[in-house]
Structure 1
Amino acid sequence: MKTELRGRTVLITGGTSGIGRALAEELDRRGNTVIVCGRRTDRLAELRERHPGIAVHQCDLALDDHRQRLADQLAKEFPSLDMVVNNAGIQLRSDVSRPIDPARLRAETDVNLIAPTHLTSLLAGQLAGKPGATVVNVTSALAFAPLVTVAYYSATKAAVHSLTISMREQLKELGIRVVEVAPPAVDTELGGDLRDDPTATHGGMRVAEFVAATVAGLEAGADEILVGLSQQLKADPEGMFDTLNSMFDRG
């Protein structure tokens, strides 16, 4: 079923930077009501200043009560909500050959896996029955073949891929479509933990190119939007594993 991307009311988590912000700006340009949830108040203020039509909500998705508060606010302020984009994520280096700080693992678990699961469950009742109601889960090419340098991040995204399949069945009876979008490496600040200069470009796909592919896939009615390298990694995860990991220094 094709998705109309005009006149919608859309929540985008992690929407103050990277692909979340670019998608928010594109959907705002198309005449949708866009709500961005983000943790950093300075970035929310800057986004609102540049795009007055975008509503912003401060929310740390790692916290249970913040997710509940967000859901309550949306029910009151945006009853027409009909699309949720679970985009927020963090990517940290992890290597079990040396002791890992469990707090880093919890941070990735809370934001990458628990947040989209819990938030979707809180918003399902509000979405139910609305024409074209949609949940979009942003996973990763690494959901299909892991990058060893970010082993735990890869595992959380593999879990969200699996979760998305189950969500699709669970929410079908409520008339809610569930879409998975799997980005390749996109040139954003995600993965700054791996770079000496977190703000430096790493040569990934241009954000605009990724957003264009995502919007095209949504409009075409795809349930799974595999962008760039994601297609090859899903088609041949074992064969692509060495190729993928040879591109990155594990040091």
Structure 2
Amino acid sequence: MDITQSTVFIPGATSGIGLALAVRLQAQGSTVVVGGRRTALLDEIALAHPGIDTVRIDTTDPGSIDAARDEVLRRHPDLDAVVAMAGVMQLEDWTSPDFLATAERVVETNLLGPIRLAAAFLPHLRTRPGATLVTVSSGLAHVPLALTPTYNATKAAIHRLSDGIRLQLEPAGVRVVEIVPPAVRTNIVVGQEESPVAMPLDEYADEVVSLLAAQPDAHEILVERVKPLRFAEVSGAYDTTVARLNAAHPRPSTPHPSDPHPSDPRAVRV
């Protein structure tokens, strides 16, 4: 993906790392379309960042994905990159009887959402020279956090899915690039915006854009802060990395009153 002249659709970019990436890609010269569920946020983005287009999309709704695709391609027939950014991260307790609804929603958003986006946009991307499909996994795809077992699993699935579809799509002319974030100071879960163990958002986004520019042929975009997680197993440091990660994120003894319900927008990176 040439970030100086691509036309990029980023579903799930109304806040956090998605919005930070969108703003920086536009500054590099790309045409950027931001997608999200909340029209009020989309309106704010259009006002605050002239030139960034916006489209409403709910990646848990196949009909919404198809409608957004049609709208994006109508306005931007030269679209050549899609970044499957939308995701949800929820705390779970599998020793309790009520984890299933949360787990199902995480799977639908984090795994089925990107698969449905790919199904909707790949027919078009295959017609565009230099097209790119960007997936977003996590350092937790490689080292589990006890608080978020289904999130970990969906991100591990995205990592392996990215590897698998790359083998099919790159010979067909579509590059597959996986962005692998560490913990970043965003509102994906309550309190992470101020977490001392999370990477500052601007620092993270700047490094990602620098890597995209410097490594146009990379299959994975790995900021330095995520490499201890990404390579923990192959380096022989897996057990100590798991212990260190989970010691830094202990499970609360009782749910915090401010923890969002799975339907709360604060739980969704859109």
Q: TM-score, normalised by structure 2?
A: 0.86
The residue number in structure 2 matching 1:171 is 169
220, 223, 229: which is aligned to 1:227?
223
Question: Cα–Cα, structure 1 residues 101 and 246, in superposed 2: closer, same or farther, change >3 Å?
Answer: closer
C-alpha displacement of 1:33: 1.1
Question: What is the identity percentage for the equivalent residue pairs of Structure 1 and Structure 2?
Answer: 36
Q: Secondary structure at the match of 2:172?
A: coil
State how many pairs are aligned: 244
The residue number in structure 2 matching 1:154 is 152
C-alpha displacement of 1:101: 4.1
Q: Does 1:210 align with 2:208?
A: no
The residue number in structure 1 matching 2:123 is 125
Root mean square deviation of aligned Cα: 1.5
Contact 2:11 2:86 in 1 (8 A): yes
Structure 1: which amino acid aligns with 2:75? E
Q: Does 1:9 align with 2:7?
A: yes
C-alpha displacement of 1:229: 3.7
Q: Secondary structure at the match of 2:34?
A: strand
The residue number in structure 2 matching 1:145 is 143
Contact 1:116 1:137 in 2 (8 A): yes
Q: Secondary structure at the match of 1:168?
A: helix
The residue number in structure 1 matching 2:245 is 244
User: After TM superposition, what 4+ stretches of structure 1 lie above 6 angstroms from structure 2?
Assistant: none
Structure 2 unaligned blocks of 5 or more: 253-270
C-alpha displacement of 1:231: 1.1
Structure 2: which amino acid aligns with 1:205? M
Contact 2:92 2:148 in 1 (8 A): yes
Structure 1 unaligned blocks of 5 or more: none
Q: TM-score, normalised by structure 1?
A: 0.92
Contact 2:93 2:99 in 1 (8 A): no
